[in-house]
């Protein structure tokens, strides 16, 4: 399957946007230990801004960055949201409330607990009535999202915004799912066209996923499901042609031929 990359968004520890991550991946800046800083979700109406947690802020931020300047109409743009889970903090809060002797649940926390909350809020923010998919597969969630987006693009001949993002649990769930911090990437993807900044040719293969040479970036790749995108993003940061292998299900990879820069 061949698709084009039009835009990229990124947010994570020590990078506030795609230009910052691109510089880290090219080695022009050095990755420093830092906590991810999530911007306020200004694309939402004020009342909704107060209701959303980290997972939604993260997804909206990277999705917005990938879309910005593309000239595409967000109202008719299909979306794929890939994540290992829902909003991690919200999940912990609900489980604590349910463990009380007389459980009282916040209605907002409940409806924010659905794993398509980010997709729902994106729709509200952008008046986006096109289909929105929310999918994943634990650590393989980025690859699942990329494959889902690619099949939508090839089968439907329409652009798709892919958002892959994960947030970290507080304890006690953190000990059982040790995602260290929030990290999100977004790719604005489309059917291939001659002037596309980059094109990807994607296949499912048996194989072993590529890592990153820089240890601190490799640790993000290995520890955060959305971080599995980093080898692909590094290839696009460097530009030119090359092949990367993205972690998919056990014993499988997505073999991606990359041509171009983003």
Partner 1 sequence: MTPLLFRASTAVSGLGTGLQVTLQGLRDNRSGLRPNEFGALPFVCHTGTVDEVQLVQLPAALQSFDCRNNRLALLALQQDGFIEAVQASVARWGAARVGVFLGTSTAGIHETELAYRQLDPQTGALPARFSYAGAHNAWSLTNFARSLLRLQGPASVVCTACSSSAKVFGVAQRMMETGLIDAAVVGGVDSLCFTTLYGFHALQLVSAQPCRPFDVARDGISIGEAAAFVLLERVPASVDADAVLLAGVGESSDAYHMSSPHPQGHGAIAAMRAALEAAALEPDQVDYLNLHGTGTRANDSTEAVAVATLFGDRVPCSSTKGATGHTLGAAGALEAVISALALRHGLIPGSPHTAAVEPQLAAQYQRSARTAELACVLSNSFGFGGANCTLALQRAN
Write out the residues near partner 1 by the rule CB under 8 A.
1, 75, 84-86, 94-96, 98-99, 102-107, 110-117, 119-121, 123-124, 126-138, 140, 144, 147-148, 150-152, 154-156, 171-173, 175-177, 204, 249, 251-252
CA distance 202 to 3: 8
Beta carbon of residue 101, minimum distance to partner 1 (angstroms, whole number):
10
From the CB of 31, what's the least distance to partner 1, in Å? 28
Q: Which is nearer to partner 1, 105 or 241 (CB)?
A: 105
Contact 166, 178 (CB under 8 A): no
Q: How far apart are CA 163 and CA 182, in angstroms?
A: 13
Strand order across the 198-206 sheet? 78-82, 160-166, 183-190, 2-11, 198-206, 252-260, 241-247
Q: How far is the CB of 258 from partner 1 (least distance, A)?
A: 19
Q: Which is nearer to partner 1, 17 or 92 (CB)?
A: 92
**Least separation in angstroms between CB 48 and partner 1:** 8
| Identity of the residue, 119 or 256, whose beta carbon is nearer to partner 1 in the bound complex | 119
Least spacing, CB of residue 245 vs partner 1, in Å: 16
Pairing of strands 183-190, 2-11: antiparallel
| CB closer to partner 1, 68 vs 105 | 105
Q: Indicate the DSSP class of residue 69.
A: T
The nearest distance, CB 133 to partner 1, in angstroms, is 7
Closer to partner 1 by Cβ: residue 27 or 120:
120
DSSP 87: -
Is the Cβ–Cβ distance between 170 and 116 less than 8 Å?
no
Is the separation of the CB atoms in 144 and 137 below 8 Å? yes
Q: Which is nearer to partner 1, 16 or 204 (CB)?
A: 204
The residue (of 25 and 43) whose beta carbon lies closer to partner 1 is 43
Residues 189, 191, 194, 198, Cα dihedral to 10°:
30
Q: How far apart are CA 199 and CA 59, in angstroms?
A: 23
Q: How far is the CB of 14 from partner 1 (least distance, A)?
A: 27
Q: What is the DSSP letter of 76?
A: G
Give dist(CA 157, CA 114) in Å, integer.
Answer: 29
């Amino acid at each position: 399957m061949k698709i084009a990359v039009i835009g990229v968004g990124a947010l994570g520890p020590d990078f506030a946007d795609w230009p910052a991550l691109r510089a880290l991946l090219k080695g022009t800046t050095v990755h420093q230990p830092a906590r991810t800083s999530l911007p306020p979700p200004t694309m939402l109406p004020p009342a909704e801004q107060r209701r959303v947690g980290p997972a939604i802020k993260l997804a909206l931020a990277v999705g917005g960055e990938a879309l910005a300047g593309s000239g595409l109409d967000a109202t008719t743009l299909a979306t794929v949201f890939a994540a290992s889970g829902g909003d991690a903090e919200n999940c912990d809060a609900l489980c604590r409330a349910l463990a009380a002797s007389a459980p009282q649940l916040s209605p907002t926390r409940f409806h924010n607990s659905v794993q398509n909350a980010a997709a729902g809020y994106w729709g509200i923010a952008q008046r986006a009535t096109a289909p929105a998919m929310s999918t994943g597969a634990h650590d393989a969630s980025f690859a699942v999202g990329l494959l889902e987006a690619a099949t939508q693009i090839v089968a439907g001949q329409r652009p798709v915004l892919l958002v892959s993002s994960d947030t970290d649990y507080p304890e006690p769930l953190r000990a059982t799912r040790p995602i260290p911090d929030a990290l999100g990437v977004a790719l604005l993807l489309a059917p291939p066209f001659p002037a596309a900044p980059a094109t990807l040719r994607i296949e499912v293969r048996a194989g072993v996923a590529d890592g990153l040479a820089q240890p601190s970036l490799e640790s993000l790749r290995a520890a955060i499901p959305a971080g599995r995108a980093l080898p692909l993003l590094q290839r696009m940061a460097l530009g030119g042609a090359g092949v990367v292998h993205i972690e998919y299900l056990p014993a499988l990879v997505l073999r991606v031929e990359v041509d171009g820069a983003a």
